[in-house]
A and B are shown apart, each in its own frame.
Chain A
Amino acid sequence: MKKLLSTVALGIAALTIGQAASADPSRTAKLVIDGTEISTHAKGMAGGPLDELYSGWLFRSDETRALQLDDFDNPAFVFVDDGETLFNKVDGSEGKSCSSCHEAGDFKGLRPVLPRWNEAKGKIYSMENYINDCRTERMGADKWKWSKPKMTSMVALISLQSRGLPINVATDGPVADIYEKGKELYYTRVGQLDMACSNCHEDNYGNMIRADHLSQGQINGFPTYRLKNAKLNSIHARFKGCMKNIRAKPYGQGSDEFQALELYVASRGNGLSVEAPSVRN
């Protein structure tokens, strides 16, 4: 019933009396990777749904958090390496690789603004859409599946270029309606258990739901390496998992619904730092 994170004082009290003190979100832990501190906390937008924004990293156990402190320990980096190999690999009828036209470093600043409106295509674009466009239209290669390892590895490599930069998605202009749709999805109760994302990630972050410590369900750390399945997980795959847990039929990965939800959830973290690729349980 208590919001552990709402005040530091309350949090400390909970630490001493709480039944699961080991899983409490840390208010002292600092995410310092290779000497660079990445902020895991930010103020929410005025009038927004959350006054304080917290990275999911703060809600994980000491052991899980530690894995993200050093890129050599971070199991997600095996996949970043795969992404790099794919980046340089010629594929498709045009005899090109990504590196024929891009350097990975060119993508610095891209992760924080996605998803966003693509004027030429007349639709909202996630990173996966951009990657597949280059593959099909510029390389003459096949699309990659939204959440399969090749795609998640490439998304991890590109997202990493923006690590530490604040999330800053636009919610107005051409995406205004999509944003509203995402918001509606976020607050709509679904499934046999009849719950909305907000029941867990807005009303109850900081609380334990059985063995899980509920976070705000932020997406600044995606793609995420999960100890549970030992691979990188896309944003849409996580949404799917949460919907299935409440016994709701998930929307498709890459669907309009999940892209709208991605935009809305991203906007709830505007100001949090990109943390990709993160480690979660």
Chain B
Amino acid sequence: MRSLAIASIGAAIFATSAFATEVAPDSVTFGEGGTVATSLTGVAGDPASGRKLFANRKLGNCLACHVNSELSEQQFHGEIGPSLDGVASRYDEAKLRGILVNSKMSFEDTMMPSFYRLKNGARTMKKFDGKTILTAQQLEDVLAYLKTLK
């Protein structure tokens, strides 16, 4: 029993330390114009994973609203927001991260969802309540992918 308890305490400590560098949604610091300068996780984003998240209807689903020529193998691209072709030449990393974390800080009243924010619309379904649309690492992955769109 005793060793089990110790093991689980150990696991708990390990889990906490894994999270220690991850910025919680409510603790994100925004700079001028809705930018977020520092990584949410301290772990470099993976552009290949970000590319998948961009198209995934249940996660980023960015294609629902944005054209992106780099994903031309995907059949349907939405036209609600601007094309994201060359977006990395228009915005720096901090600005792009800020747009993803909380789009409303960059574009007042925008329809674009805020991907790392807890305060969303009323009546959020139980399954999604208290959760962000993307995890911190998923957001960093999408960001890494966006940075390739030059």
Interface on A for B, CB 8 Å cutoff? 1-2, 19-20, 188-195, 199-200, 203-204, 207-211, 243-244, 246-249
Total count of chain B residues near the partner, CB < 8 A: 29
Contact A19 B77 (CB under 8 A): yes
Interface of A is mostly: loop
Contact of A191 among B57, B65, B120 (CB under 8 A): B120
* Interface pair B76/A193, CB less than 8 Å apart: no
Write out the residue numbers on chain A whose beta carbons fall within 8 Å of the beta carbon of B131.
192
Known contacts A208-B76, A209-B80; is-contact A193 B125 (Cβ 8 Å): no
Contacts A192-B133, A210-B57 known; A249 to B63 CB distance under 8 Å?
Answer: no
Whole-angstrom distance from the CB of B129 to the nearest CB of chain A? Answer: 8
Q: A60 to chain B: closest CB distance in Å?
A: 15
Contact A1 B125 (CB under 8 A): no
Q: A19-B77, A191-B120 are in contact. List 10 more A-B contacts (CB 8 A).
A: A1-B80, A190-B124, A191-B125, A191-B128, A192-B120, A192-B124, A247-B124, A247-B125, A248-B125, A249-B125
Binding site for A on B (CB under 8 A): 57, 61, 63-65, 67, 75-82, 111, 113-114, 120-129, 131, 133
Tell me the complex Cα distance, A244–B77, Å.
22
**A/B interface sample: 7 pairs, CB < 8 A:** A189-B121, A191-B121, A193-B133, A194-B121, A199-B111, A204-B111, A248-B122
A95 to chain B, nearest CB (A): 45
- Pick the residue among B57, B61, B79, B113 that contacts A2 (CB under 8 A): B79
Nearest residue (CB) in B for A246 is B121
In the complex, residue of chain B having the shortest beta-carbon distance to the beta carbon of A210: B64
Decide yes or no: A193 and B78 within 8 Å by CB, A19-B67, A210-B57, A210-B63 being known contacts. Answer: no
B81's partner among A1, A189, A190, A195 (CB-CB below 8 A) is A1
Asked if residues B124 and A248 are in contact (CB atoms below 8 Å), the reply is yes
CB-contact partner of A210 in B76, B114, B122, B127, under 8 A: B76
A1 touches B121 (CB 8 A): no
- Shortest CB–CB separation between residue B18 and chain A, in angstroms? 25
In the bound complex, what is the Cα–Cα distance between A189 and B119 (angstroms)? 12
